[in-house]
Amino acid sequence: MERRGKVGVMVCVMLLLLSPVMVFCAGTQEAKDASAPVEIKVLSPYVGTHSAAEFFDWALKEFSDTHQGTIKVNVEEVPGEQNYVDKIKVLLSTDKLPDVVFSSYNLLDLCVEAGKTVDLTPYLDADPVWNSGFDPATLAYNTFDNKVMGVAYFKRLIGYYYNKELFQKAGIKKPAETWSEFFQQLDMLKNAGITPLSLDTGDSGWITSLWLSSLVGTSGKVGNDFMNRQQPVNYEFPEFIKSVASIQKFFQNYTTGDAVGGKYENGAVNFFSGRTAIIANGTWMVKDFSDPNKAPEGFADKVGIAIYPEGGVFMSAAKGAFCCSKTKSKADAAVEFLKFLTKPETQQHYFELTGESPESPKVEMTDVIKEKYPLVADLFRLSKDAKYFYQYPQAAWYANVTDQLSVLYPLLANGSLSPEDFARKLTETAKNN
């Protein structure tokens, strides 16, 4: 018996050394009372004013009610996306990750690289109904070395919002169809005494990066291929440098004084208050336009939605939630929770509560959603005529590259960094991976 135990431990050690995926060894599992529920820990950013907070509260209650006595979900709330990312990175460094993590920025990539994620492929293979609910492209996007590591329940559909009253005041009849026309509209807004754009530099410059991605992604085949590539290394090409030059013009001529150093929240407040006329963001923002804690009464009626000039729109698969359990019993329980979150019925409820695009092709745009979120319905309609589809940096670029954006955007804005040097520094950063 003693010899068999040593051999088992050696096999586990060898497997862990050879595989980047979490491996379970029977000899390492703790003995549990078979009658007690399996407890799993979940870190959630969906709290407070987060657009998905109501959905997550509902999902947690529904899952807990249907799994009472078998699975207990212990939730630790971490408000703020950047706080969540920082918390997970700390837990990763100390080997104390929770059983379920919601992917934000490049968290899935980081945890896979560290060998802390559970391979979901066997679970998907064993449950054809669950497997068939996903868009194959999303599963491929969450696949590493032929192993599915994450499962998503939404897609990123992102255009930009504009204040119809401010557009009318500036003499703008409809959103621009070309970038040349877009710059003309920025000048029209500015000449009318209106600050055109909400921008930011903090937390990787989310709003600003959406504009940069759209400029690159609609610049032609080279730029569009680049914005659909995972973890690109070379940023020093004409289409990218020209796009960075446009972002520099945005900062220097068409945005607020608090854009440099500001975060997404600053840009959102400026748009809600009517201080700016345009903000780039996803469909999850639609709820905020009717939230009296965020926007003035009647503000939602003033907002229009558009795809980007040259026919561009973000429509990409998302990195999904994933499992980092250390024992098979907890992994099995965590996967049950992921199954619940990602099944089409749950995604339908998520769509209706948040307005964010569902991942599953089995979820439909219902009359309820069209009536509740007309802007979302408008974007779905407009996106059918889009010419270019692409991803945003936080979903495709190396984590250290997106982190560098917060350093480089302010330098670009004040003119101490040229577009060429901006591109060169991103290339240098990417090559460090």
Which portions of the chain are predicted below pLDDT 50?
A: 1-20, 25-31
Contact (Cβ atoms closer than 8 angstroms) between residue 272 and residue 296:
yes
Q: What is the reported pLDDT for 364? A: 84
Contact (Cβ atoms closer than 8 angstroms) between residue 156 and residue 392:
yes
pLDDT tens, position by position, 224-251: 999 999 899 999 999 999 999 999 999 9
Q: What is the reported pLDDT for 18? A: 43
d(CA 423, CA 369): 41
Indicate the domain borders of the chain: 38-151+319-358, 156-316+382-431
Domain 38-151+319-358 has CATH 3.60.15.10: no
| Residue showing tokens 């940023």 | 235
Q: How far apart are the first and last CA of the chain?
A: 45
d(CA 244, CA 422): 8
d(CA 122, CA 116): 17
Q: What is the reported pLDDT for 34? A: 62
d(CA 248, CA 145): 39
pLDDT tens, position by position, 264-314: 999 999 999 999 999 999 998 998 999 999 999 999 999 999 999 999 999
Tokens of 267: 């840009």
Q: What is the reported pLDDT for 12? A: 40
Q: Give 249's contacts (C-beta < 8 A, 6+ positions apart).
A: 183
CA dihedral for 254, 259, 264, 267, sign (positive or negative): negative
d(CA 351, CA 59): 13
Q: What is the reported pLDDT for 321? A: 95
Q: What is the reported pLDDT for 15? A: 40
Q: What is the reported pLDDT for 24? A: 58
CATH code that applies to domain 156-316+382-431: 3.40.190.10
> In angstroms, what is the C-alpha Rg of the chain?
23
Tokens of 322: 């994933």
Contact (Cβ atoms closer than 8 angstroms) between residue 200 and residue 256:
no
d(CA 26, CA 161): 53
Contact (Cβ atoms closer than 8 angstroms) between residue 56 and residue 84:
no
Domains 38-151+319-358 and 156-316+382-431 share a fold: yes
Q: What is the reported pLDDT for 183? A: 98
The pTM (predicted TM-score) of the whole model is 0.79
d(CA 372, CA 352): 8
Q: Which helix (H) or strand (E) holds 163?
A: strand 155-163
